[in-house]
Amino acid sequence: MFNNIFVPGLNGIASFVFWYPFVMSLFWIAGTLVYIWFRDKDQKIDFAKVDWPLISFLVPCYNEQDTIEETLDNLLGLDYPRKEIILINDGSKDNTAALLKRLSQEHPSIRVIQLYENRGKANALHLGAHAARGEYLLCLDSDAILDNDAPYYLIHHFLHKGERLGAVTGNPRIRNRNTLLSRMQLVEYSSIIGAIKRTQRILGKVMTVSGVVVAFRKRALLDVGLWDRDMITEDIAVSWKLQQRFWDIRYEPRALCWMLVPESLSGIWKQRVRWAQGGQEVMLRHWRVLFRWNQRRIWIVYIEQWISTFWAFAWVFVTVSLLITADTFQEMLIWLTFTSFALVFMSLIQLFISIQIDSKYDKVKRFYLWASWYPAIYWIVNTGVVISAFPRAIASRYKGGYATWKSPDRGIGRNK
């Protein structure tokens, strides 16, 4: 492939850079189709014939003065028969504390926990869980709008899928769809995240529940010591703790939850670095799973995460090597064009299949046009994200302490 390049092992690394995403696309497509064929039967549930248990909605808030009132109105309006709502203000620096105080006076049915120092989302959920009266906790982001039927679909799993079911993750959907970046994320949520969740369910283990909307069995959370307060992504960390204690996690695509996503490159960058750092922190903490035979079902998820991280570094290495050592510009361009075309073509097939499947929950087919932009931009951005997050993940493991959070970009100003 590179006849005039004198970097040892470059041909092998270049082959890995090309074949790994190509093979993984086939893997995600196959997993998604198997899930649809054998698992996704969409069994109808007569909500009126079930004696629904009490749900405790936990909504941690940090600088949420623009979103929390709408989220609370949505929760109060759900027709789920037995519910309590607990809002936890985690030391917000805006007007959230005063707003929650007013809302608690207007709606005596809700409870508010006021914290005066930002200690992170995991810590806020900790306190909410201790205050909750329900056996089932439905954790929700403070910008999320829950579909009326979502609580029924989530809780139904706990009632009929056995006592070892620890969590059910819902299906986050994107509310703001006005810009190129938000529409690309819409395609991403429909295809990449949905395909990975479905495939990992076939494997029996998932990388993470969705922090946007997830229901937990309280007993399972207590069994694993609740959320890790020193991990920047509490949803990934608690998923691994639950599954190592052999609590099952399921995915319920009918549990729709509408959320806001960043609409600026800097907002997406910060969000994705946080996600990547959180994933790497978990991989660093739980490396011992590879030496435990009883954890073998999660090995493939663990190994795939490290290979993905290595791929990002390999992609940069090959690209830089090519720029330095290629004899001609045409030689470099031919390789980049061929590999990019093949990978984008495979990615578009995966996106097409996933959007077809997701369209029964959300009318996303018309956004397929935006899929053509997805691979070109996201692969480059995500490579930078993974490399940027790696030293932060290592430093975080040494530093320890509470993992605090910052105000995210939710594109609110651009959608007013």
pLDDT in the model for residue 176: 84
pLDDT in the model for residue 238: 96
pLDDT in the model for residue 90: 92
Q: Are 18 and 342 in contact (CB under 8 A)?
A: yes
* Tens of pLDDT, residues 277-313: 999 999 999 999 999 999 999 999 999 999 999 988 9
| pLDDT greater than 60 at residue 415 | no
Name the nearest CA neighbour of 209 among 145, 33, 200, 125.
200
Q: Where is average pLDDT lowest: 105-109, 112-116, 182-186? A: 182-186
DSSP conformation class of 351: H
pLDDT in the model for residue 22: 85
pLDDT in the model for residue 290: 94
pLDDT in the model for residue 336: 64
**Residue 271: exposed, middle, or buried by beta-carbon count in 10 A (0-12, 13-18, 19+)?**
middle
Q: Are 212 and 140 in contact (CB under 8 A)?
A: yes
Percent of the chain with pLDDT over 90: 42
| pLDDT greater than 50 at residue 416 | no
* Tens of pLDDT, residues 330-384: 666 666 666 677 777 777 888 888 888 878 787 777 777 776 667 667 777 878 8
pLDDT in the model for residue 211: 87
- d(CA 273, CA 271) in angstroms, rounded, equals 6
Mean pLDDT, residues 179-199: 80
* Tens of pLDDT, residues 204-260: 889 999 889 999 999 999 999 999 999 889 999 999 999 999 999 999 989 999 988
Q: Are 123 and 402 in contact (CB under 8 A)?
A: yes
| pLDDT greater than 60 at residue 163 | yes
- d(CA 232, CA 271) in angstroms, rounded, equals 11
> In which band, very low, low, confident or very high, does the pLDDT at 264 lie, cut at 50, 70 and 90?
confident
Q: Where is average pLDDT lowest: 113-127, 153-167, 342-356? A: 342-356
Average model confidence (pLDDT) across the chain: 86
> In which band, very low, low, confident or very high, does the pLDDT at 411 lie, cut at 50, 70 and 90?
low
Q: Are 139 and 238 in contact (CB under 8 A)?
A: no
* Tens of pLDDT, residues 2-32: 554 455 667 788 888 888 888 988 898 898 8
pLDDT in the model for residue 227: 95
Percent of the chain with pLDDT over 70: 90
Q: Are 374 and 184 in contact (CB under 8 A)?
A: yes
| Three-class SS state of 317 | helix
pTM of the model: 0.88
The strand pairing partners of 56, in sequence order, are 84, 137
